Structure 1
């Protein structure tokens, strides 16, 4: 059949499945099947009629439905979860039927009464990502709501879904629609977020240049002591999205937004930039720069200076940064740093790009820093060989600081690498220097959560991660890993379970800490299931190797982790 003969349509798809269905069937097959049949008759079918949907297919543990309106689909999903929660309240927790629900708006392929294609697959993947009793929706679904429902949604970032090549924006339904609006009070100092610059030229190869420009402006502003600056990951959560400036500012807890676009061609760069007061919509400053490409870093400095002047007047300038001598090296570094922390395979590509950047510009401090961090991640977390990666990461981190001692990023990376060498006084000094240079370093605050745990002060670590989350409200998943790590060390096991089930960190290496937390709560079978799933992606993990390589200064906390891992049946 040719593409023109395939029947397609745009539909809102809802996918729902029962949490722990196999266990329910094993415990009481007849009772579970009867309960599912009653649920379809008394809850599912009436809700579907009320919200103008149709059942596409029924599986033993799941349901797939189609709606002509995304508003109807999400209203039905919310009603389903409310109705189930009420109906199951009197049922023993081990026998409750609890759903996860995913909703997507997308193109589907029609085959008789069945639906196929990406539109269906994304809904199913969102349902798998969802917490029990919750609802996850895609960015395409969210964009069409426009305040038409009284339920609230929390942005959880761009997620990589199984067998879906592109990243998908994901939102989680929250019970209190006003929760996000009041979650982030404005700081006392002027607060700003730099939204991702648009690549006006549309050439895909220039996309990383536009991203690099955004990241560098965030870094430059972050170093000004009189400003509160939202971190890169949260700013990039809005990349490619239609945005309401006031809503973005409320979501991030800032007053000012910097927006811009860039076009790079024929050795020149054109940058349009505007500074907006999101509180009242006033444009404070706007300008266009049309310069030779060799002046790009001067333009960055000029834009930063103009923003600071507009917001807080003339501050003492931050020390000059170590700028690359080669634009080709800069491009390689921008591409490389974007790949760090994803997977071991992608990390090897990042190392290659960063090594090429250093070969082109041996005095480029930032390239040295990110290569050091990338190599450290490989041996400390992904089982890459210690030799020569471990000593090489130290050498590169020390070289980065020597090349640019005024870059807070270089300082905290060195501090973290040295901690794993048990060089504690030097590590502590490096972190202190980082925060003295830039108190807005969200990643450094998050990493300090781990330092608090190593030092035997996990409650202090929790507070540091929470400070990082204020600077980075839409963080990468490893922030929740660090928070759950500190919560476990502080014996806040229930809080750790909640944290480590956040969609952006669940199914990552943090799963072993989730398993240990469940084990300490006495949920041994659930803990062992999580441990088994962790081992699928981390087949070389052993408790002994982990305990020997982690730089704990408090043996009691180390033993508490070991105890949880053993109870969860992780290999010795």
Structure 2
């Protein structure tokens, strides 16, 4: 092992000698680069963080000197296993996976065999950078990493102790040693107490297991003022202390039996399924509701990146906002195995996110944790929440999928704040012009503060598409150009972002008229995130326009299944109606358009499809009635200007039938 970060900080040369760094700052810079891995760090961020209070030129100079010192210790060559790489913007420490204990630790966790878990347990010799004196200015830099590896070690000791089947196995001692090291750094680590309780029980020492429980309860009371978790108490309740023959004393533990916390999930889907409910806003400020809601959306999107999970879309989960929910009822209504609940507390620049994972079949809490930090590491906190939930459900998740959940939308928190406010406004309606205009203004504010914010570009472009659909454009040529520019920029910046590709791709098709590019963007979004209901929803629209109505109906149905209570269900119902119309199934087209209008009564697109469907099905009175309602919303609409709002049908017959059907329904020339 050439780089050791767990339980200390040291590096050895190729000859096996310990490397001596010139200064403590250089040593910590080396550690920061090792933790960042191949993605590296921006030079500007490193210089400002490690040498605060200096001028930019002085800080950059200090960084260059420190990197020279590291290069001298680890020179680059054709056979070098550890070396510095980078360009003018970023710098990275490149090393083979087996050269650092953190890389090997992560790899063994993913592999997940009992032997590999035992190996990982031995690798965790203590907290990350244990024993190192870290200056205050670097505390926040390393804190998230420390929290992450401590959390993974706690998950590891739980997994390993649950896998022990008989005393004397090769995994028993590594598990015991890890539990003891975890308790040495945090005496209230309940997971480690449980691991030791299981080991004592496995060896036939039930009395020692019960004493471990009592020790755990006393420490929790002393340091945190709380009782043990239900799972710990349940484990203790199953123990019976050994008695000497003839001992009349009752052999009952000092705790009441409770239901076993871990149970097999129900199999309503071929993958574990979950929903993230709205988090409580504990900030004492109602204005911060949008902030808590935005955090939940980001966590939901992150979880949906994992292909082995079935994740209910955020908009369906948010129908429970403000309610006192019964978890089992939520499980039945959304058809999910697990529910995530939580809270967000924001005080100044300090932030705490708390979450818990609940089995909906039993109500048992499978996982709970809290994550503290500052607004500067908001996205790292969200990553930690998402990764912890996945680890609690499927411990053998592939490392590549974990990395996918760590995508950050922007590094500008000011921009992100505007984005969340715009999202909160746009989510309220698509039929209120002033609200959509306000959402557009907020998204443009976010873009002003971060020119590379992909999702903000996509959402702003989507506002223009709503303006077009409702006939609200004042200067169509200019607004179409603006929408197309924003959409193209969203796709360019967010080529690995499924949300940006979904909305950007939709606008390129509907507003820009480029169906091929629209389909390519949306297909990539589905490749990146097959669970994203929004991507499936816009895919149903583009497939209908391309003349693939059956595929359109299939994708809309899947979107509605992933987000059955979505406030924008009406859009996917409209897409289904449009697809049926293109397929010549006019009765079905009218039925689905009517469903859309029940959810969104003033939705012009659905009115047009319903009128066209009724007309082609021979329901003349219903068609004329629908056109009358439509013209009350848009008195200027005529057959002559219908092209301004029509979908860009690829098949000429679809377009001509649609126009003719609206003529039959009574739309004037």
- Is TM > 0.5 for Structure 1 vs Structure 2? yes
Among 482, 499, 509, the residue aligned to 2:592? 499
**Is the contact between residue 322 and residue 404 of structure 1 (CA under 8 Å) also seen in structure 2?**
no
Task: Tell me which residue corresponds to 1:17.
Answer: none
Q: Deviation per CA, 1:265-309, whole angstroms, max 9, x where unpaired?
A: 122112221001112222110012232222211110001111111
Q: Is the 8 A contact 1:223 1:318 kept in 2?
A: no
Q: Give secondary structure in 2 for the equivalent of 1:501.
A: helix
In structure 1, the residue corresponding to 2:476 is in which secondary structure?
coil
Deviation at 1:566, TM superposition (A): 1.1
Partner of 2:436: 347
**Secondary structure at 2:530 match in 1:** coil
1:129-528 alignment, distance < 5 Å: 186-313=268-395, 314-315=397-398, 316=400, 317-319=402-404, 320-340=406-426, 341-384=430-473, 385-420=475-510, 421-475=512-566, 476=568, 477-502=570-595, 503-509=598-604, 510-528=606-624
**Cα distance in 2, alignment partners of residues 271 and 222 from structure 1:** 19
Count how many residue pairs are aligned between Structure 1 and Structure 2: 389
| Partners of 2:359 and 2:365 within 8 A in 1 | yes
Check whether the contact 2:307–2:530 (CA below 8 A) recurs between aligned residues.
yes
Contact 1:322 1:403 in 2 (8 A): no
Structure-2 residue corresponding to 1:95: none
Is 1:560 aligned with 2:657? yes
User: TM-score, normalised to structure 1's length?
Assistant: 0.65
Name structure 1 gaps, 5 residues minimum. 1-183
Please name the residue that 2:7 is paired with.
none
Secondary structure of 2:602 counterpart: coil
Q: Of Structure 1 and Structure 2, which has the larger fraction of its residues in helix? A: 2
Deviation at 1:495, TM superposition (A): 2.4
What SS class does the counterpart of residue 506 from structure 1 fall into?
coil
Q: CA deviation at 1:226?
A: 1.6
1:322 Cα deviation after fit? 3.9
More strand by share: 1
Aligned pair in 2 of structure 1 residues 491, 339: CA closer, same or farther (>3 Å)?
A: farther
Alpha-carbon distance in structure 2 between the residues aligned to 1:505 and 1:373: 18
Q: 2-side partners of 1:508 and 1:285: how far apart?
A: 43
In 2, Cα distance between equivalents of 1:288 and 1:372: 36
Give me the whole-angstrom Cα distance separating, in 2, the residues matched to 1:532 and 1:326: 48
| Deviations 1:308-357, CA, capped at 9 Å, x for gaps | 11112232224442432322221210111233334222111111111111
d(CA) in 2 for partners of 1:359, 1:416: 23
Q: Is the 8 A contact 1:484 1:513 kept in 2?
A: yes
Structure 2 residue corresponding to 1:532, chosen from 624, 628, 646: 628
2: CA distance, partners of 1:520 / 1:241: 44
Separation in structure 1 between the aligned mates of residue 384 and residue 667 of structure 2, nearest angstrom: 54
Deviations 1:508-533 (A, max 9, x none): 21112212222223221222111111
Q: In the TM superposition, what is the alpha-carbon distance from 1:505 to its structure 2 partner?
A: 3.1
Conserved? CA contact 1:500–1:506, under 8 Å: no
Q: Is the 8 A contact 1:339 1:347 kept in 2?
A: yes
TM-score, normalised via structure 2 length: 0.56
Q: Residues 496 and 185 (structure 1 numbering): CA distance in 2 closer, same or farther, change over 3 Å?
A: farther
Larger Rg: 2
Structure 2: distance between partners of 1:273 and 1:252: 19
Q: Is the 8 A contact 1:322 1:365 kept in 2?
A: no
The DSSP-based 3-state class of the residue aligned with 2:300 is helix
Q: Please give the alpha-carbon distance, in whole angstroms, between the structure 1 residues aligned to 2:632 and 2:654.
A: 26
Question: 1:427 Cα shift?
Answer: 2.4
Deviation at 1:185, TM superposition (A): 7.8
How far has the Cα of 1:193 moved from its partner?
Answer: 0.6
1:129 matched to which residue of 2?
none
SS at match of 1:234: helix
Is 2:519–2:542's contact at 8 Å kept on the other side of the alignment?
A: no
Other structure's SS at 1:339 match = helix
Cα pair distance change 1:417/1:508, threshold 3 Å: closer
> In 2, Cα distance between the equivalents of 1:214 and 1:331?
14
RCO higher in structure (CA 8 A, sep ≥6):
1
1:410 and 1:444 map into 2 onto residues whose CA distance is: 10
Q: Is the 8 A contact 1:481 1:505 kept in 2?
A: no
> What is the Cα deviation at residue 455 of structure 1?
1.3
Shift in Å at residue 424 of structure 1?
3.6
